């Protein structure tokens, strides 16, 4: 059972919302094994885990980025910078790996403009505008299309890779940053409305959706990772021919060890939109990481001021 909010009712002080987890969404590195072989590189799953860092990922990406057509323009890339820019899903774990943070949840202030957070944000921008190992805005490139060597994504990405790819691919753990290896521990959920006319039937459905059988069905088509760890282990041991031999267990560790939850904010969507909008000029190469992080932090602090007011109003 997941508690969706800790905000108390102003009348009773006991108002909590709960949900049953449908699926978690930890991240893994998808990689094109054929590209690594052609470049004479060890694949991410062959490297000692202590050596698998963001610096190593960027260096490998540099060697994997090529001009295959010979026209002077890169058309094969080591990475895709957009994979690290999603707020909060991929950006926040990377920032944590660099020793930064997004929100101080006790004081409700932004930490996006501290030096470690800026280092993480700058690492992403550098993929396009520094070493250029990733497509810039306007350039195309994806791992399923066969012209990007590595991608960071959730379990559901397996559907696209299976459907579109004619190359050998596999999965690896996320790299470590200066502060360690971080992932995300969040879950989609199933809920029952308090206003339902059929609470008994709704509860029966919820219990079935959380069952081993339903969770296995959710996982079988590559739709989502099961929320039941015992189901995930069983399914990953025998995932079917499309995923046979793939290192699916890299998705399991974040559920029990390296995963971190997202900030528990009432104004979560406002936070997401604010940070995403403020960082767009950096991704377009128009401003520095310091400028973008300062603007993002100021925008986020304005949202967090509203958050503090909202929390005070319901106490």
Picking from 237, 253, 269, the residue at the C-terminal end of a domain is 253
Least confident of 47-51, 87-91, 141-145, 274-278: 87-91
Residue 200 CB neighbours (<10 A): 8
**Cα 132 to Cα 147: distance, rounded to the nearest angstrom:** 14
160-181 residues labelled b (16+ CB within 10 A) or e (exposed): bbeeebeeebbbbbbbbbeeeb
Max mean pLDDT range (68-72, 212-216, 253-257, 290-294): 290-294
Number of domains in the chain: 2
pLDDT for the residue numbered 3: 52
Question: Are the CB atoms for 275 and 283 separated by under 8 Å?
Answer: no
CATH, residue 59: 3.40.190.10
Secondary structure letter of residue 177 according to DSSP: B
Predicted TM-score of the model (pTM)? 0.89
User: Across residues 5-12, what is the average pLDDT?
Assistant: 43
Mean pLDDT of the chain: 89
Q: Which of 202, 226, 253 is the last residue of a domain?
A: 253
Last residue of a domain, one of 210, 228, 253: 253
Query: Which residues fall within 8 angstroms of residue 239, CB to CB, at 6 or more apart?
Result: 246, 248
pLDDT at 211: 92
How do beta strands 169-172 and 28-32 pair?
Answer: antiparallel
Model confidence over 131-156: pLDDT tens digits?
999 999 999 899 999 999 999 999 88
Same domain assignment for residues 292 and 172: yes
On whether both 99 and 238 belong to a single domain, the answer is no
Per-residue pLDDT for 266 more than 70? yes
115 and 221 assigned to the same domain: no
Residue 216's domain spans which residues?
2-24+188-253
pLDDT at 15: 62
More confident residue, 234 or 283: 283
Q: Same domain, yes or no, for 246 and 276? A: no
The predicted-structure confidence for 103-113, as pLDDT tens digits, reads as follows 999 999 999 99
Q: How far apart are the first and last CA of the chain?
A: 24
Report the C-alpha gap between 84 and 121 in whole angstroms: 9
pLDDT tops 60 at residue 84: yes
Distance CA 158, CA 248 (A): 10
Name the β-bridge partners of 18. Answer: 3
pLDDT for 239 equals 83
Q: Which of 117-121, 134-138, 199-203, 217-221 has the lowest mean pLDDT?
A: 217-221
Rounded CA separation 99/152 (Å): 19
**CB neighbour list of residue 101: distance below 8 Å, 6 or more residues apart:** 95, 111, 114, 116, 117
Picking from 178, 175, 180, 150, the residue whose alpha carbon sits closest to that of residue 54 is 175
192 and 144, same domain (yes or no): no
- For residues 206 and 73, membership in a common domain is answered with no
- 140 and 10 co-located in one domain: no
pLDDT over 50 (residue 13): no
Indicate if the pLDDT at residue 12 is higher than 80: no
In this structure, what DSSP letter does residue 174 have? P
- Distance (Å, rounded) from C-alpha 96 to C-alpha 179? 7
Could you give the CA distance from residue 142 to residue 135 in angstroms, rounded to a whole number?
9
Q: What is the spatial distance between Cα 315 and Cα 310, in angstroms, rounded to a whole number?
A: 9
């Amino acid at each position: 059972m997941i508690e969706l909010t800790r905000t108390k009712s102003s009348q009773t002080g006991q108002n909590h919302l709960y949900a049953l987890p449908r699926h978690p969404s930890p991240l893994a590195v998808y990689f094109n094994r054929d590209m690594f072989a052609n470049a004479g590189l060890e694949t991410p799953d062959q490297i000692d885990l202590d050596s698998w860092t963001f610096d190593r990922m960027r260096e490998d990406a540099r060697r994997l980025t090529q001009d295959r057509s010979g026209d002077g323009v890169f058309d094969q890339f080591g990475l895709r910078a957009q994979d690290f820019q999603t707020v909060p899903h991929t950006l926040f774990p990377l920032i944590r790996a660099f020793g930064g943070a997004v929100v101080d949840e006790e004081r409700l202030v932004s930490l996006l403009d501290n030096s470690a957070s800026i280092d993480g944000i700058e690492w992403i921008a550098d993929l396009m505008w520094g070493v250029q190992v990733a497509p810039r805005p306007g350039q195309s490139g994806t791992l399923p299309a066969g012209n990007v060597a590595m991608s960071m994504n959730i379990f559901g990405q397996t559907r696209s890779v299976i459907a579109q790819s004619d190359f050998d691919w596999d999965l690896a753990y996320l790299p470590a940053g200066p502060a360690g290896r971080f992932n995300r521990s969040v879950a989609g959920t199933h809920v029952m409305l308090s206003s339902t006319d059929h609470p008994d039937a709704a509860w029966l459905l919820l219990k079935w959706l959380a069952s081993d059988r339903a969770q296995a069905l959710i996982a079988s088509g590559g739709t989502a990772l099961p929320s039941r760890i015992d189901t995930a282990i069983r399914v990953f041991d025998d995932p079917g021919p499309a995923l046979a031999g793939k290192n699916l267990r890299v998705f399991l560790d974040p559920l029990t060890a390296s995963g971190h939850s997202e900030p528990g904010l009432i104004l979560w969507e406002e936070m997401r939109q604010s940070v995403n909008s403020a960082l767009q000029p950096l991704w377009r190469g128009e401003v520095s990481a310091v400028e973008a992080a300062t603007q993002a932090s100021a925008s986020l602090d304005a949202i967090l001021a509203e958050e503090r007011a909202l929390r005070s109003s319901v106490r």
